[in-house]
Amino acid sequence: MNIPETGPVLRAADVDVVRDGKYLLRQVSMTVARGEHWALLGANGAGKSTLLALLGAVKFPTRGTVEVLGHRLGRVDIRELRAYLGHVNPRHELESSLTVRDLVLTGITNTIELVPRWSPTPEQEARADRLTEMLGMAAKRTARWTTLSQGERGRALIARALMPSPRLLLLDEPATGLDLAAREQLLSSL
């Protein structure tokens, strides 16, 4: 997949998202240029997570257009596009009891679980270990997902999102469940 080196990284034009007859987003338009850092602020239920799901190529708009890294949703192989995205969703759907290290490694395959008959390279394992250490999770590398606190889960998901060296990083509520020291470590790591 060719990712353009120029132009905006994100563009939404006149986007509506309607579910069960209710507008979750209405007439949203925005452009994010390369090198910009944005924060979405708003009340609970305002549509922030829905917008991030669109921009992360997880959901599709009911109306309007969304372009991610120069590719329009609906006209691009989403699996290929997602390989260039790091998306942290605090409502991660993991149901099995992966270790932190294995969870981080799923960032390479962009899957919720480890892919059968797939093995990471030694370089990929080393990168997973570096990322967990950078985010203060080295001591939890072998801990199971089901035993982690909310803040630990968030840090593990950020390491997972960083695993493929994404061109675009989208963080949905990245500091949820983090104490003050962990928030500071997160900000300095990013």
Query: What would the mean pLDDT of 142-159 be, rounded to a whole number?
Result: 90
- Note the pTM of the prediction, 2 decimals: 0.83
Chain segment 92-101, per-residue pLDDT in tens? 677 778 999 9
* Single residue among 76, 108, 136 that ends a domain in this structure: 76
Token output for 141: 């590398």
Chain segment 85-123, per-residue pLDDT in tens? 988 887 767 777 899 999 999 998 888 788 888 899 999
- Alpha helices, DSSP H, located in 12-149: 48-55, 78-82, 100-109, 122-134
Mean pLDDT of the chain: 90
* Single residue among 13, 43, 76 that ends a domain in this structure: 76
Residues 123 and 66 in one domain: no
Residues 177 and 117 in one domain: yes
Could you tell me whether strands 10-19 and 63-68 are parallel, antiparallel, or unpaired per DSSP bridges? antiparallel
What domain range is 56 assigned to? 1-76
